[in-house]
A and B are shown apart, each in its own frame.
Chain A
Amino acid sequence: MTGLSGTQVKNAGKVLRVWWAGDGAAPTPEIEAALQVLVRYRALHYYPLAKATMGLRSRVETVGARRDVAQRLKRAPTILSKLVREPNMQLSTMQDIAGCRAVLDSVTQLRAVQERFKTETIVRLDDYIERPKASGYRGVHLVVRYTDRHGGSRSVEVQLRTGVQHDWAVTVEQMGGRIDRELKSGEGPEEVLRLLRLASEAMALEEKGETAPSALRLAIDQARLEARPFLERGREP
């Protein structure tokens, strides 16, 4: 694979994990070299990702949905933080370096798109609609294998969300950014996490055409009051 061996990638990940978990020291030449490996390894995912995105878009069109499809290569700092957060994770086996996303109108439409992935090599399926994450995250994630330009096989994470699920996730990203905490990974003040969890529950009920019970609505109002001071505090200077 273009002069990058699996061992090289794995070793770069090990070195970078220690560096990123440390006290913010300037990168040594060894770290610089490892960062280069990371960037080259990420770039190897570009063609498989573009293929996946095209495939996703054509499936979205087939079911008659609006074409809200986009792709991204994971940011280097996010890759590094994930290595630190998950000590058993290897850089060489990380499955979401490449990711694409579709925002659909309804759960029915989302399931129709999901169904059309049966022709692909799916190596992982996380149904966070049936079983939402502890954070309240909902959506469906598929890890699909696509070949790169050199015959290697790369994982691409395909995220399917409804507009309602997406709204929730976007807000979590925004709030997390505002207070500099990985709220989507369950890190942060419990007051804020509780608000997000409860709101997700109410939003999912309403998306199904049901009414959120008044006890839930009251709990959300209370959670919002308790979360507000944390959200207003902003980032550490």
Chain B
Amino acid sequence: MSLRHFLIIYDHKSGKLRAPPKVYDDASAALAAYSEKEREHQSDKDLEIVLIGSDSLATVKRTHANYFDTPATSEYLRMAE
């Protein structure tokens, strides 16, 4: 199975990704970039940095939909916005 790594930097202030996810096919490069970005933004509590592995970005958009501005599908949780 191929595993691609997506480094995500999500900004809670704007409710959006800071930039399109950075893609790594090499695990060690992905891990190094992950901890480096965490370190760089250590004091910024509004940024959420996470490394997700999956077969494609399309899958990540479903399994980690919270980073992709997906509106709630349940009528119970939909807030008037």
Q: List B contacts of A146 (CB < 8 A).
A: none
The size bracket of the interface on B is 35 or more
Q: Who on chain A is nearest to B36 by CB? A: A39
Question: A178 near B12 (CB under 8 angstroms)?
Answer: yes
Q: List B contacts of A70 (CB < 8 A).
A: 52-54, 59-60, 63-64
Question: A171 near B74 (CB under 8 angstroms)?
Answer: yes
Question: A224 near B79 (CB under 8 angstroms)?
Answer: yes
Q: How far is the CA of A118 from the CA of B42 in the complex (A)?
A: 40
Closest Cβ–Cβ distance, residue A110 to chain B (whole Å): 14
Interface centre among B31, B74, B80 (most CB of A within 10 A): B74
Question: B63 near A69 (CB under 8 angstroms)?
Answer: yes
Q: Within 8 Å of chain B (Cβ to Cβ): is A73?
A: yes
Question: B49 near A75 (CB under 8 angstroms)?
Answer: yes
Q: Within 8 Å of chain B (Cβ to Cβ): is A53?
A: yes
Closest Cβ–Cβ distance, residue B18 to chain A (whole Å): 14
| A 28-71 contacts with B by CB, 8 A | 35, 39, 42-43, 46, 49-50, 53-54, 57-58, 67-71
Interface centre among A75, A167, A170, A178 (most CB of B within 10 A): A170
Give how many A-B residue pairs fall within 8 Å (CB-CB).
Answer: 108
Q: List A contacts of B49 (CB < 8 A).
A: 75
Question: A57 near B52 (CB under 8 angstroms)?
Answer: no
Q: How far is the CA of A180 from the CA of B79 in the complex (A)?
A: 17
Q: Within 8 Å of chain B (Cβ to Cβ): is A111?
A: no
Contact with A along B43-70 (1 / 0, CB 8 A): 1011011111111000110111110001
Question: B72 near A171 (CB under 8 angstroms)?
Answer: yes
Q: How far is the CA of A178 from the CA of B12 in the complex (A)?
A: 6
Q: List A contacts of B74 (CB < 8 A).
A: 164, 167-168, 171, 199, 203
Q: How far is the CA of A58 from the CA of B3 in the complex (A)?
A: 13
Interface centre among B50, B66, B77 (most CB of A within 10 A): B77
**A70-B53, A203-B74, A228-B80 known, 15 other contacts, Cβ within 8 Å:** A35-B39, A46-B27, A58-B1, A68-B63, A69-B54, A70-B60, A71-B52, A72-B64, A73-B51, A75-B48, A77-B45, A167-B77, A170-B72, A180-B12, A180-B45
B residues bordering A, Cβ < 8 Å?
A: 1, 3, 10, 12-13, 15, 27, 31, 34-35, 38-39, 42-43, 45-46, 48-55, 59-60, 62-66, 70, 72-74, 76-77, 79-80
A-B residue pairs in contact (CB < 8 Å), sample of 23: A27-B42, A35-B39, A39-B35, A43-B35, A49-B53, A50-B3, A50-B27, A50-B53, A67-B59, A68-B59, A70-B53, A72-B52, A170-B70, A177-B12, A177-B48, A195-B77, A196-B77, A199-B76, A203-B74, A224-B76, A227-B79, A235-B12, A235-B46
